[in-house]
Homo-oligomer: A and B are copies of this chain.
Amino acid sequence: MLSNASKYAILSTLYLAEHSNEERKISVKEIAENIDIPSPFLAKLFQQLVRGKIISSTKGPHGGFYLSEKNKKKNVLDIIDNIDGLNKLNGCFLGLNECDSTNPCPVHYIVVPFKNNILEKFRDITIMEFAQEISDKGTFLAINNIDPSLDGPAE
């Protein structure tokens, strides 16, 4: 549903929202180590997010990435759009060509409300508000790199 690239981009941008500002810029290296993702890959993603005006950067000593006030008002869907495009999130869960309320796939009425919920969340809440939620809850933003065969079921 989301590519690794998008997930990395979302988590890293949320990290920026929590830890950076115009005065305190953060290097790719610091973020990559904290989120536990490959830093050259993140560098590429950040290049793209800068071009897309989702995040900001400056070069040189004390340079790095940060969110401008404008950036902070972007939302998570902007990140997904910038990295994956929005179409990965749309489309029938079972891949059906014609799947709508007229010709619904067997999971249509389970999937559509979920999609609407998550799209609403990603579209209506700014990155800064998202980050605020995370910091309120003390959520630990580290990616899951361990062997997926060890995962337990969702609770």
Please list the residues of chain A having a beta carbon within 8 angstroms of any beta carbon in chain B: 1-2, 4, 7-8, 10-11, 36, 85, 87-88, 90-101, 103-107, 110-112, 114-119, 121, 130, 133-134, 137-146, 148-149, 151-155
- Contact partners of A106 in chain B: CB under 8 A: 121, 130, 133-134, 139
Check B101 against A110 for contact (C-beta < 8 Å). no
- Contact partners of A130 in chain B: CB under 8 A: 106
- Contact partners of A95 in chain B: CB under 8 A: 2, 4, 7-8, 11, 143-144
Query: For the complex, what is the distance from the CA of A133 to the CA of B36, rounded to whole Å?
Result: 45
Check A146 against B97 for contact (C-beta < 8 Å). yes
Stoichiometry (number of copies):
2
Query: For the complex, what is the distance from the CA of A146 to the CA of B92, rounded to whole Å?
Result: 13
Check B90 against A153 for contact (C-beta < 8 Å). yes
Check A97 against B143 for contact (C-beta < 8 Å). yes
- Contact partners of A90 in chain B: CB under 8 A: 148, 151-154
Residue from B4, B99, B144 in contact with A97 in the complex, judged by beta carbons closer than 8 Å: B144
